[in-house]
Structure 1
Amino acid sequence: MQKLIGCLIVAFLFQGKVFSQEKLVSSGDLPILAWYSIPAAETSLARYQEMKEAGISFQVNNYSNIEELLKAMDIASKAGIRIVASCPELKSDPEGTVRRLMKHPALAGYHLMDEPGLSAFAELGNWARKIQSIDNKHFCYVNLFPNIADSSQLGTKSYLEYVNESVKQIPVSFLSFDYYPVLKDRLSLSWYENLEQISQAATRAGKPFWAFALTTNYDEDHLTPQTLAAIRLQVYSDLAYGAQGIQYFTYWSATSLNAPSSEDQRGAPISAAGKRTVVYDRVKAMSGEIKALSGVFLGSKPVWVRHMGRGRIPNGTIRLTALPQGIKVLETAGAPALVSLLEKGDNYYLVIVNKDFLKSMDLTIYGDDSLQKILKDGTIVPASAYEPSMEVDPGDAAIYRIPKTKQ
């Protein structure tokens, strides 16, 4: 029998019914940025291709001079990696440095400062405006403290004041903050509150935000956050809150990059010796999921985010009390879950995240005939093709599509 060629619709048989399968369509891929990426001394096409194979599209490093940076950019462009530029000349001669970098195909943007306090905001704002007066096509990047920073670090009485002042004073294209919530056997208590704060601030400012996933060890409490379940929990929670960029900290072991002695940063995707660890393959798998699901998350905006499960929900969050139209039952047998309704185009997407990175979650969900399930490879199938009760792996997410006509 001749093989059929050019089939546009793949079908499968389920209980006597034939369902068509379609794939998510996306205008692009969600940015995935690596912090502490390839050291200048290791700059080579093979290294950048290795990074690309891990699904990473952007990287940031602190280069000792512009020549090191330009060498890395020349190589990175051949592998399809873009660089957020950072070198001393960007601060000492911003106008001249921007003119040298702005037309390079590997340029993603300009890294100004990590975790500034309020006292640095005015200078950062002036610096960003100098850059933007010459190049307004590439972003300026500032990464903010998490809400566990104290007032002496923030320079303000409250975290919300700190975030709001950064929006007022620093003209960046998107907000960015870091928080590494996965500890040995628990989550940090204020992480979800921080996601609420940043997501709401970004919405008020009319800007997107980027968030982090920890992919290395760095102190006694963060010894095993690099499991796939822990990485998934961070990434899917970030995306459920509307994050438009995911950042891995770190890619290369920062121990080899003169990291502070108080941070023992080992267990990154690439070790201090330059060898892949098991985390490299986990990051690669996570990046593949992000890319396949860009049709859900890229350009989507949260309508609401809720929490469910027995016991208290995180401070600053709201408990789920009502289901979106089209959903008849949503239960987790008391297990902690994050539930987000995202809006994009003609559809809503319901994202349900298992907030336990150590245990599976029993999820029961069913709705009307319009409800569709999104598979990890971006395939869309009727939810009715699956049993209404299923197991969600630790830290993983179940995703469904609801046509707007049902809302």
Structure 2
Amino acid sequence: MQSPHRILGPSRRTLLLGAGATAASLAAAGATAGTAAASTATSAASTGTSAANIAAGNNAAIDAAAIPSPDTLPLTGGPEFPVGLFWPPHPYASTPERFTEIAEAGFDFVISGNYAGDGNIFQYQLGLARDAGLQMLISDDIQIRNMSRWFAISENPADFLTITPAEAREFYTRARNAYGPFSSLAGFNFYDEPGPGWFGTLAKALAVSRELAPQLLPYINLFPSDDPNYYRDFVDVVQPSLVSFDRYPLLSEGREDANYFHNWAIVRDAALRGDIPAWVFIQTLAYNGHREPTAAELLWQVNVSLAYGAKGIQYFTYWTPEAARGEGFGPALITVDGQRTSRYAAAKKINTTWLHQVGRELKPLVSESVVHANETPLPNGTVGFTPTELVTGVSGQPVVVGTFRSRDTAVKDRWLLVANRSHSASTRATVTVDPAKVSGVEVFQAISQQFAAQRGSAVPVNLAPGAATLLRLKVR
């Protein structure tokens, strides 16, 4: 079992993204800088040192800049719930047909990767994405990573492996000018899984991004971790536009990651702290120590994440990494040689018949609480159900209940996302409300995208493995 105060890593995403460097000199610089950052991160995680203290000196030089609201940015803004993927078709398989295939499966955006590291390839893929109605987050190792990962940003030219703020602006300007003409550009992937020692430089890099292209999303994905300070410091120091993390809970031999819910609870708190969206990656494939998900297990990861307040879902991976990468990767949604697996069909069904529909309802809402009902013992980091002034009981079999409210304080209604705790068995539960406080309960119908009124104050909930339902409580 991992220490509850240690960052978990490196993850599979880090190893895959390591393939992105396209120049030997940059790779060497990145290895040196990455080693230094990893050392700082390990030290900070093991000693409890705050990243805010680590980065305090660097952040003092940042000019005050307006931070765009997530509501105004690509993917985080607008009514549509963002559904993305990592490890897209490789350059030889990047065709109009393949990008159409992605869009038809209900995906909205693509995070570049799978040996696409050349500017010409990025521009070609951006054109394919535009024509397919997709957006892209570009992982540019030559420009963006030079200002956010391979080198730190410092005013002192004597500092080792650093660039000046002016040089950072020049790098970003080149990337913006190269890819900005494409309407499919949603933003840039600045760093995958940074240690806290990098938070100061990332704060400066995001300030540059917001100064030069406030309309683009600056994207960073974080380590899985059981340390709340890691995510809190990220929010406080970097002031990001979202909190994204990856943790893959489906272990070999039918086991679950015992701290999956704990990690989600920590990320949820951090996102609420910064009033920014929380995104998560879900596991689509087997790899060392992890099993191949069933269709119900894909759905379960999605619905548990929605209950915990997710405002964006990302799939790891879409295309299957080849065997030479190691790590024992099994087939994902698309095999190494381009064949669809059963998980492609499952993801398409989830995305197009449930996730987008329920996501539109949940995206503008604020996560108020998340509890586990009828589960003994409670998983680490979870909170058991206790009656509230609106919901007096949740009886029956185990479910995860996320409660949401409107940002408009004049709206008193509440929304309940009730998710099956099991990904292998159907479940039955009953949600009981106080009729003196709740005038009615409505159930969301994904097909019609309407809420249907239910009779009585006790609402039965029957859920297939991994499934969920959305209730709206009409509060008096």
For 2:204 and 2:101, the matched residues in 1 are separated by 37
Q: Does 1:39 align with 2:109?
A: no
Range moving further from structure 2, 188-197 or 338-347: 338-347
Please list the CA deviations of residues 133-159 of structure 1 after superposition, one character each: whole Å capped at 9, or x if unmatched.
2111111111111125xxxxxxxxxx2
For the 8 Å contact 1:99–1:134, the answer to whether it is kept is: no
CA RMSD of aligned residues (A): 2.2
Q: Does 1:309 align with 2:374?
A: yes
Q: Which amino acid aligns with 1:343?
A: R
Equivalent residue, structure 2, for 1:343: 405
For the 8 Å contact 2:441–2:457, the answer to whether it is kept is: no
C-alpha deviation, 1:27, in angstroms:
6.0
Please list the CA deviations of residues 90-133 of structure 1 after superposition, one character each: whole Å capped at 9, or x if unmatched.
23432211222223201011001111112222232332222222
Secondary structure of the residue that 2:220 maps to in structure 1?
A: strand
Structure 1 pair 362/186, CA: closer, same or farther in 2 (3 Å)?
A: farther
Q: Which blocks of at least 5 consecutive residues in structure 2 are unaligned?
A: 1-76, 147-170
For 1:95 and 1:245, the matched residues in 2 are separated by 28
Where does 1:323-362 land on structure 2 (aligned, <5 Å)? 323-325=388-390, 327=391, 329-332=393-396, 335-344=397-406, 346=411, 347-362=413-428
For 1:362 and 1:298, the matched residues in 2 are separated by 26
C-alpha deviation, 1:328, in angstroms:
5.3
For 2:384 and 2:392, the matched residues in 1 are separated by 18
- Structure number with the higher helix fraction is 2
For the 8 Å contact 1:102–1:135, the answer to whether it is kept is: no
Equivalent residue, structure 1, for 2:303: 236
For the 8 Å contact 2:418–2:468, the answer to whether it is kept is: yes
For 2:455 and 2:229, the matched residues in 1 are separated by 47
Equivalent residue, structure 2, for 1:167: 235
Equivalent residue, structure 2, for 1:72: 125
Q: Does 1:375 align with 2:445?
A: yes
For 2:456 and 2:236, the matched residues in 1 are separated by 49
Secondary structure of the residue that 1:147 maps to in structure 2?
A: coil
Where does 1:191-210 land on structure 2 (aligned, <5 Å)? 191-210=260-279
Structure 1 pair 390/64, CA: closer, same or farther in 2 (3 Å)?
A: closer
C-alpha deviation, 1:170, in angstroms:
2.2
For 1:135 and 1:388, the matched residues in 2 are separated by 49
Range moving further from structure 2, 269-278 or 348-357: 348-357
Equivalent residue, structure 1, for 2:217: 139
For the 8 Å contact 1:255–1:264, the answer to whether it is kept is: no
Instruction: Give the count of matched residue pairs.
Output: 362
C-alpha deviation, 1:349, in angstroms:
0.9
Equivalent residue, structure 2, for 1:269: 333
For the 8 Å contact 1:66–1:88, the answer to whether it is kept is: no
For 2:319 and 2:139, the matched residues in 1 are separated by 17
For 1:384 and 1:313, the matched residues in 2 are separated by 31
Secondary structure of the residue that 2:340 maps to in structure 1?
A: coil
For 1:66 and 1:386, the matched residues in 2 are separated by 59
Equivalent residue, structure 2, for 1:8: none
Where does 1:250-265 land on structure 2 (aligned, <5 Å)? 250-255=317-322, 259=325, 261=326, 263-265=327-329
C-alpha deviation, 1:191, in angstroms:
1.0
Q: Which amino acid aligns with 1:48?
A: F
Structure 1 pair 265/176, CA: closer, same or farther in 2 (3 Å)?
A: same
For the 8 Å contact 1:296–1:349, the answer to whether it is kept is: no
Please list the CA deviations of residues 372-397 of structure 1 after superposition, one character each: whole Å capped at 9, or x if unmatched.
11123233212239995453111111
Structure 1 pair 133/176, CA: closer, same or farther in 2 (3 Å)?
A: same
Q: Which blocks of at least 5 consecutive residues in structure 1 are unaligned?
A: 1-25, 149-158
For 2:292 and 2:94, the matched residues in 1 are separated by 29
Structure 1 pair 328/77, CA: closer, same or farther in 2 (3 Å)?
A: same
For 2:106 and 2:457, the matched residues in 1 are separated by 30
Structure 1 pair 34/386, CA: closer, same or farther in 2 (3 Å)?
A: farther
Range moving further from structure 2, 383-392 or 233-242: 383-392
Equivalent residue, structure 2, for 1:178: 246
For the 8 Å contact 1:212–1:234, the answer to whether it is kept is: no
Give the % identical residues. 24
For 2:263 and 2:179, the matched residues in 1 are separated by 34
Q: Does 1:363 align with 2:429?
A: yes
Secondary structure of the residue that 2:334 maps to in structure 1?
A: coil
Please list the CA deviations of residues 333-377 of structure 1 after superposition, one character each: whole Å capped at 9, or x if unmatched.
xx3321111113543111111111111112223545611111232
Where does 1:204-223 land on structure 2 (aligned, <5 Å)? 204-220=273-289, 222-223=290-291
For the 8 Å contact 1:74–1:106, the answer to whether it is kept is: yes
For the 8 Å contact 1:139–1:172, the answer to whether it is kept is: no
Secondary structure of the residue that 1:103 maps to in structure 2?
A: coil
Where does 1:386-397 land on structure 2 (aligned, <5 Å)? 388-397=459-468
Secondary structure of the residue that 1:200 maps to in structure 2?
A: helix
Structure 1 pair 386/228, CA: closer, same or farther in 2 (3 Å)?
A: farther
Secondary structure of the residue that 1:293 maps to in structure 2?
A: helix
Secondary structure of the residue that 2:264 maps to in structure 1?
A: helix
Q: Taking structure 2 as the reference length, what is the TM-score of the superposition?
A: 0.72
Range moving further from structure 2, 93-102 or 76-85: 93-102
C-alpha deviation, 1:401, in angstroms:
0.7
For 1:211 and 1:324, the matched residues in 2 are separated by 31
C-alpha deviation, 1:267, in angstroms:
2.0
Where does 1:260-299 land on structure 2 (aligned, <5 Å)? 261=326, 263-288=327-352, 289-299=354-364
Structure 1 pair 386/214, CA: closer, same or farther in 2 (3 Å)?
A: farther
Secondary structure of the residue that 1:305 maps to in structure 2?
A: strand
Q: Taking structure 1 as the reference length, what is the TM-score of the superposition?
A: 0.83
Structure 1 pair 66/356, CA: closer, same or farther in 2 (3 Å)?
A: same
For 1:386 and 1:102, the matched residues in 2 are separated by 53
For the 8 Å contact 2:81–2:360, the answer to whether it is kept is: no
For the 8 Å contact 2:385–2:394, the answer to whether it is kept is: no
